[in-house]
Chains A and B, each alone.
Chain A
Amino acid sequence: MMSDRITFTIDGVEVQADPGQTILQAADAAGVYIPRLCAHKELNPFGACRICTVMVNGRPQAACTTPAANGMIIENETEELTDNRRSIVEMLFVEGNHYCMYCEKSGNCELQAMAYRLSIMVPRHPYQFPDKDIDGSHPDIMIDRNRCILCARCVRASRDLDDKNVFQFVGRGKEKKVWINSEAKLSDTDMDVTDKATDICPVGAIIKKRTGYEIPIGQRAYDHKPIGSDIEEAKATAESN
């Protein structure tokens, strides 16, 4: 019924949502891209990265966890929000060891693509060069914690989609990291290369072994179009039809 539809605006453009949809989901459906890293279509909202933070009636809210409501006035692409998003992404870069120049995820990496979309040239914060470890014990999967951005996609995918619960967060603050529910190594878990959790990492922290660089430069996800273009183009295509 028409009366069930929720109507609100994002940057002055009227957007409609179904009851229960988050601002992010409604924006996606409307072809409005709100930058995000931890959110994923197959996963429940989590609110880890805060990059999708928008101004809702003048107050900052995470678009991925906030339900859409009638009459909301949402600001998405403002100078201030964009700068905040840059700052968050920059912090993610300096708190890990992200060497895009040789990373096999380069060109397909959502963090790298976000940095390009936000026109980040160099982080404003000093690099931390943290000491992170690599778990290569699994025959088909490698964990490189140098590149982890703590989005919890793997934690949620393993628990909610694979029904395995392989990953958990341990530690707090700068000591926080994704760990595995076993004594020490990924090989001790029941993780399988076909698990959803293997594919869902936005960066190169969880990778399939022996498949790196198989997609040539020029054919990778973000070689020609910025991240979010799929959402924006879907709307443009719908309008032209």
Chain B
Amino acid sequence: MSAPENMRKIVIEPVTRVEGHGKVTILLDDEKQVQQARLHIVEFRGFERFIQGRPYWEIPVLVQRLCGICPVSHHLAAAKAMDIVAGVDELTPTAEKMRRLMHYGQMFQSHALHFFHLCSPDLLFGFDADVAIRNVVGVARKFPELAVQGVMMRKYGQEIIKATAGKKIHGTGAIPGGINKNLSIEERDEFLKDIEQMLEWSRASVKVAKDYTVENLETVADFGSFDSNHLSLVREDGAMDLYHGNLRAIDAQGNKIFDQVDYQNYLDYVAEEVKPWSYMKFPFIKSIGPEDGWYRVGPLPRVNLCDFIDTPEAEKERQEFMAVTEGKPNNITMAYHWTRMIELLHSAEKIKELLNDPDLQGEDLIVKGERRPEGVGLIEAPRGTLFHHYKVDENDQVTMCNLIVSTTNNNTPMNLAVEGVARKYLSGATEITEGLLNRVEVAIRAYDPCLSCATHAMGQMPLVIELIDSDGRLLDKKAKGMSLND
């Protein structure tokens, strides 16, 4: 095996159709075998530090600026932590249900965005399809109905966020101890008009993802797949609950590692490891250790972990999904897409259920309590379990903040997926093809990582790959979306 400095290095930078900035490096030895493949997150935000000193009630509005795609998740996770800090253990029914509606609206729009805008070009046209058509515009040309559905579903979710948070992006709805508005009859009726259409489109979306996975099972089964632990919140009765619950973790065979853990004590169960080559930390289950304790989060683990889904149509789809692996956890990376669409359907069912609940028109919005020094808030964000932990001093100012965002939880899994795909498809290759590069990105996109400002790329994001030999000579270079002279 060559020494690392003599290996060929391939860099994919930036990774496209994902949120934020990341790059992939792949090292090849003299026999053109992949020796190492890594996903690097190259951005650094610093929120944990610069919110120190700010008043605690400001945090749900401030910290959501982390993201423009799923700010609601941060808004609600922080609000849940600050409920605890404000001494409030139980919200009024109106407040809790308004927050849930906001969250399901978010889940609905985010899942629709990912499936229709970001990953559908790969699934509909194939990984090797011409880049000129393998993009969202290509989807709109060839599958116009599907493209319109994607846009309209996103719009529906965004309008729900606006009705509950005041704005489609970066609203102010959730405040410590409750919510600042209810849902008017007029707002409710506006959403009820279209909910059946949303349900119908959601059913069709599940079918697209399901058919794709089943028809291509042979290909996707070992496409960046591996056994892993899974983690998510579940309700006390074991049901899927995307807004609130207790922590459950299982291993690849479905054995419980822990269950019904009060997330206020998450530090007893989860720790984070720092590695020198990434700004993103590597979380792991403490009782197993950093080597094997890493886990996956998001739609796949949530569907794997829960005992049932409490909405009938999504539950039926869950059962069908679990039947593929005979009830055992599904460890196929590309199965994320199918489970994401099951959650899309579940969210639509939940939205309908909530819209018909008269509690949403209640007037009792805020509960006050006795101040506490510390609070943890967890939520199942579209991309997985999101941890917010704060300490607040006697002057009401934040002194400590720890955030474990969904994508951070999936750090090791994404790296393994990248490495698996690189080894399978790149080892021995003399020429880099665009389709090959795209395979690495397809594996990353399955996780819908929140790295998203850059996602609306329509296949035109700048990306450069260089194949350099052990003497540093440039053997091959491919670029898209930019001039090679840039």
Of B58, B180, B181, the most chain A CB neighbours within 10 A belong to: B58
Chain-B contact segment, one of A79-87, A158-166, A206-214: A206-214
Interface residues on B, range: 20 to 34
Given the known inter-chain contacts A104-B57, A215-B180, A216-B180, please indicate yes or no for A209 contacting B172, CB distance below 8 A: no
Please determine whether A102 and B61 come into contact, CB atoms closer than 8 angstroms: yes
Of A104, A136, A211, A215, the most chain B CB neighbours within 10 A belong to: A136
CA distance A213 to B58 in the complex (A): 8
CB distance from A87 to the nearest CB of B (A): 28
Does A142 lie at the interface of the complex (its beta carbon under 8 Å from any beta carbon of B)?
yes
Does B175 lie at the interface of the complex (its beta carbon under 8 Å from any beta carbon of A)?
yes
Q: Which residues of A contact B165 (CB under 8 A)?
A: 217
Please determine whether B61 and A213 come into contact, CB atoms closer than 8 angstroms: yes
Chain B residue with the shortest CB-CB distance to A104: B58
Please determine whether B166 and A102 come into contact, CB atoms closer than 8 angstroms: no
Does A238 lie at the interface of the complex (its beta carbon under 8 Å from any beta carbon of B)?
no
Does B55 lie at the interface of the complex (its beta carbon under 8 Å from any beta carbon of A)?
yes
Does A218 lie at the interface of the complex (its beta carbon under 8 Å from any beta carbon of B)?
yes
Does B22 lie at the interface of the complex (its beta carbon under 8 Å from any beta carbon of A)?
no
Please determine whether B55 and A136 come into contact, CB atoms closer than 8 angstroms: yes
Is chain A's interface secondary structure helix, strand, loop, or mixed overall?
Answer: loop
Does B86 lie at the interface of the complex (its beta carbon under 8 Å from any beta carbon of A)?
yes
Chain B residue with the shortest CB-CB distance to A142: B55
Does B14 lie at the interface of the complex (its beta carbon under 8 Å from any beta carbon of A)?
no
Given the known inter-chain contacts A102-B58, A217-B171, please indicate yes or no for A210 contacting B166, CB distance below 8 A: no
Does A137 lie at the interface of the complex (its beta carbon under 8 Å from any beta carbon of B)?
yes
Please determine whether B61 and A104 come into contact, CB atoms closer than 8 angstroms: yes
CA distance A137 to B397 in the complex (A): 10
CB distance from B62 to the nearest CB of A (A): 4
CA distance A51 to B60 in the complex (A): 34
Q: Mark A132-173, 1 if CB is under 8 A from B, else 0.
A: 001011000010000000000000000000000000000000
Chain B residue with the shortest CB-CB distance to A137: B395
Q: Which residues of B contact A213 (CB under 8 A)?
A: 57, 60-61, 172, 175, 180
Contact partner of B176 among A101, A210, A215, A216, CB < 8 A? A210
Interface residues of B in 380-410 (CB under 8 A from A): 393, 395-397
Please determine whether B57 and A210 come into contact, CB atoms closer than 8 angstroms: yes
Please determine whether A217 and B176 come into contact, CB atoms closer than 8 angstroms: no
CA distance A209 to B56 in the complex (A): 10
Given the known inter-chain contacts A209-B55, A213-B175, please indicate yes or no for A218 contacting B395, CB distance below 8 A: no
Chain B residue with the shortest CB-CB distance to A223: B166
Q: Which residues of A contact B396 (CB under 8 A)?
A: 136, 142, 209-210
Please determine whether B65 and A102 come into contact, CB atoms closer than 8 angstroms: yes
Of B172, B176, B180, the most chain A CB neighbours within 10 A belong to: B172
CB distance from B394 to the nearest CB of A (A): 9
CA distance A176 to B170 in the complex (A): 34
CA distance A170 to B98 in the complex (A): 46
Q: Which residues of B contact A216 (CB under 8 A)?
A: 166, 172-173, 180-181
Does B53 lie at the interface of the complex (its beta carbon under 8 Å from any beta carbon of A)?
yes
CA distance A102 to B63 in the complex (A): 9
CA distance A214 to B173 in the complex (A): 8
Q: Which residues of A contact B367 (CB under 8 A)?
A: none
Does B478 lie at the interface of the complex (its beta carbon under 8 Å from any beta carbon of A)?
no
Chain B residue with the shortest CB-CB distance to A134: B53
Interface residues of B in 353-379 (CB under 8 A from A): 366, 368
CB distance from B388 to the nearest CB of A (A): 15
Q: Mark A196-224, 1 if CB is under 8 A from B, else 0.
A: 00000000000001111111111000000
CB distance from B218 to the nearest CB of A (A): 49
Interface residues of B in 166-199 (CB under 8 A from A): 166-167, 170-173, 175-176, 180-181
Q: Which residues of B contact A214 (CB under 8 A)?
A: 175, 180, 366
CA distance A205 to B263 in the complex (A): 35
Q: Mark B31-64, 1 if CB is under 8 A from A, else 0.
A: 0000000000000000000000111011011100
CA distance A136 to B54 in the complex (A): 9
CA distance A102 to B173 in the complex (A): 12
Q: Which residues of A contact B65 (CB under 8 A)?
A: 101-102
Please determine whether B166 and A217 come into contact, CB atoms closer than 8 angstroms: yes
Please determine whether B58 and A134 come into contact, CB atoms closer than 8 angstroms: no
Given the known inter-chain contacts A102-B62, A142-B55, please indicate yes or no for A218 contacting B166, CB distance below 8 A: yes
Of B55, B62, B167, the most chain A CB neighbours within 10 A belong to: B55
Q: Which residues of A contact B172 (CB under 8 A)?
A: 213, 216-217
CA distance A213 to B176 in the complex (A): 10
Please determine whether B397 and A136 come into contact, CB atoms closer than 8 angstroms: yes
Of B166, B171, B173, the most chain A CB neighbours within 10 A belong to: B166
Q: Which residues of A contact B60 (CB under 8 A)?
A: 213
Q: Which residues of A contact B86 (CB under 8 A)?
A: 210
Q: Mark A100-131, 1 if CB is under 8 A from B, else 0.
A: 01101000000000000000000000000000
Q: Which residues of A contact B397 (CB under 8 A)?
A: 134, 136
CA distance A239 to B390 in the complex (A): 56
Please determine whether B170 and A101 come into contact, CB atoms closer than 8 angstroms: yes
Contact partner of B395 among A136, A210, A215, CB < 8 A? A136
Chain B residue with the shortest CB-CB distance to A207: B55
CA distance A211 to B167 in the complex (A): 19
Q: Which residues of A contact B181 (CB under 8 A)?
A: 216
Of A137, A211, A212, the most chain B CB neighbours within 10 A belong to: A212
CA distance A113 to B55 in the complex (A): 23
CA distance A182 to B305 in the complex (A): 58
CA distance A209 to B86 in the complex (A): 12
Chain A residue with the shortest CB-CB distance to B395: A136
Of B167, B180, B395, the most chain A CB neighbours within 10 A belong to: B395
List 16 additional contacts besides A104-B58, A209-B57, A212-B57; criterion CB under 8 Å: A101-B170, A102-B62, A102-B65, A104-B61, A134-B54, A134-B397, A136-B393, A142-B55, A142-B396, A209-B55, A212-B61, A213-B172, A213-B180, A216-B172, A216-B173, A217-B172
**8 A-B pairs with least C-beta separation:** A217-B166, A136-B395, A102-B62, A216-B181, A213-B172, A216-B180, A102-B61, A212-B57
Please give the residue numbers on chain A whose beta carbons come within 8 Å of chain B beta carbons, in ascending order: 101-102, 104, 134, 136-137, 142, 209-218
Pick 14 A–B contacts, CB within 8 A, sort by A. A101-B170, A104-B61, A136-B393, A142-B396, A210-B57, A213-B60, A213-B172, A213-B175, A214-B180, A214-B366, A216-B166, A216-B172, A216-B173, A217-B165
